[in-house]
């Protein structure tokens, strides 16, 4: 049984993650950390094997440092933090750290297809759409997609109520365009990827590891 604590447990993603962990036969939810619950990350580490972090960009790195150096593995779903800062914070820690800008399997496939298409098409741009409360722009998914593609790929960010998380990758060439689109209708779409990471994080050959594709295509 994998003992799991969730940071940011009172948020929308945190609540969805808690429910997914409680519904998994091989996991036990042992802690919910969130300022609104009066519970800190330090309060939930003693009983956890894995900490899942869906907090905010300003707390992610410190949470990972604290947990990993306590021997607790970390799965990060929050975005907007600097990878160099994370690497420095968890260097030498016994706990392994995994992070992904997007845990939806379809989004990872979109990024892979976009990377391949960019090798053959002249130019591309990304339009990413998120709910109005999202703190970072561009999104971690859009930034990761652009980094995987050939050439300079501009990103356009839309923040509106009624949206969860969508992305278009539009590629253009002579007399043609190709659009690769991923649409998220509910936050449960991320949960298979989150649970996969929780199950695999302890086995990582290095730390930190970034990107769900590293687990899908090792």
What is the structure's pLDDT at 79? 87
Structure-token pair, residue 11: 């948020």
The answer on 181 and 126 residing in a single domain is yes
The answer on 95 and 199 residing in a single domain is yes
What is the structure's pLDDT at 135? 82
Q: 125-141 burial, b for 16+ CB within 10 Å, e for fewer?
A: ebbbbbeeebebebbbb
Structure-token pair, residue 126: 């990304």
The answer on 158 and 53 residing in a single domain is no
Residue 73 appears among annotated catalytic residues? no
Residue 218 pLDDT more than 80? no
pLDDT one-digit tens code per residue, 106-164: 999 999 999 999 999 999 999 999 999 888 899 989 999 999 999 999 999 999 999 98
The answer on 114 and 37 residing in a single domain is no
Instruction: Considering the candidates 130, 131, 156, 182, report the single residue annotated as catalytic.
Output: 130
The answer on 65 and 10 residing in a single domain is yes
Q: Which regions of 42-192 does DSSP assign to beta strands (E)?
A: 50-53, 73-76, 97-99, 123-130, 155-159, 165-173, 176-184
| Furthest C-alpha separation in the chain | 60
pLDDT-based confidence at residue 58 (cuts at 50, 70, 90) = very high
Q: How far is Cα of residue 32 from the mean position of the Cα atoms in its chain?
A: 19
Structure-token pair, residue 130: 């998120």
What is the structure's pLDDT at 136? 87
Please check whether residue 185 is in contact with residue 131, taking contact to mean a CB–CB distance below 8 angstroms: no
Higher pLDDT among residues 18 and 80, named by residue: 18
For 163, other C-beta atoms within 10 Å of its C-beta total 16
The answer on 92 and 111 residing in a single domain is no
Residue 131 appears among annotated catalytic residues? no
Q: Give mean pLDDT, residues 33-60.
A: 97
Instruction: Considering the candidates 69, 96, 119, 134, report the single residue annotated as catalytic.
Output: 134
The answer on 109 and 176 residing in a single domain is yes
The answer on 41 and 80 residing in a single domain is yes
Average model confidence (pLDDT) across the chain: 96
Triad 141, 164, 111: Cα angle to 5°: 25
The answer on 86 and 193 residing in a single domain is yes
Instruction: Report how many domains make up the chain.
Output: 2
Q: Give mean pLDDT, residues 48-55.
A: 98
Q: Give mean pLDDT, residues 73-78.
A: 96
Residue 30 pLDDT more than 80? yes
| Range of the structural domain that residue 6 is part of | 2-99+188-216
What gap in Å lies between CA 41 and CA 7, rounded to an integer? 6
What is the structure's pLDDT at 98? 98
> Which pTM was predicted?
0.87
The answer on 43 and 84 residing in a single domain is yes
User: For residue 111, what is the domain's CATH number?
Assistant: 3.30.360.10
The answer on 83 and 50 residing in a single domain is yes
pLDDT one-digit tens code per residue, 155-205: 999 999 999 899 999 999 999 999 999 999 999 999 999 999 999 999 999
The answer on 26 and 55 residing in a single domain is yes
User: For residue 20, what is the domain's CATH number?
Assistant: 3.40.50.720
């Amino acid at each position: 049984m994998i003992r799991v604590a969730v940071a940011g447990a009172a948020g929308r993603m945190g609540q969805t993650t808690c429910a997914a962990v409680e519904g998994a036969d091989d996991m036990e939810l042992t802690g919910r950390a969130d300022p609104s619950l009066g519970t800190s990350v330090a309060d939930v580490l003693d009983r956890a094997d894995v900490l899942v972090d869906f907090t905010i960009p300003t707390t992610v790195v410190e949470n990972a440092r604290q947990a990993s150096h306590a021997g607790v593995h970390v799965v990060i779903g929050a975005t907007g933090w600097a990878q160099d800062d994370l690497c420095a914070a968890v260097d030498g820690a016994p706990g392994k750290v995994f992070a992904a800008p997007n845990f939806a399997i379809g989004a990872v496939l979109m990024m892979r297809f976009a990377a391949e298409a960019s090798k053959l098409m002249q130019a591309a741009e990304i339009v990413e759409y998120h709910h109005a409360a999202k703190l970072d722009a561009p999104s971690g998914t859009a930034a990761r997609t652009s980094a995987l593609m050939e050439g300079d790929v501009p990103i356009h960010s839309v923040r509106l109520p009624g949206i969860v998380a969508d992305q278009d990758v539009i590629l253009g060439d002579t007399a043609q365009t190709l659009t690769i689109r991923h649409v998220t209708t509910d936050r449960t779409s991320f949960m298979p990827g989150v649970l996969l990471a929780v199950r695999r994080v302890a086995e990582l050959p290095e730390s930190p590891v970034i990107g769900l594709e590293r687990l899908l295509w090792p």
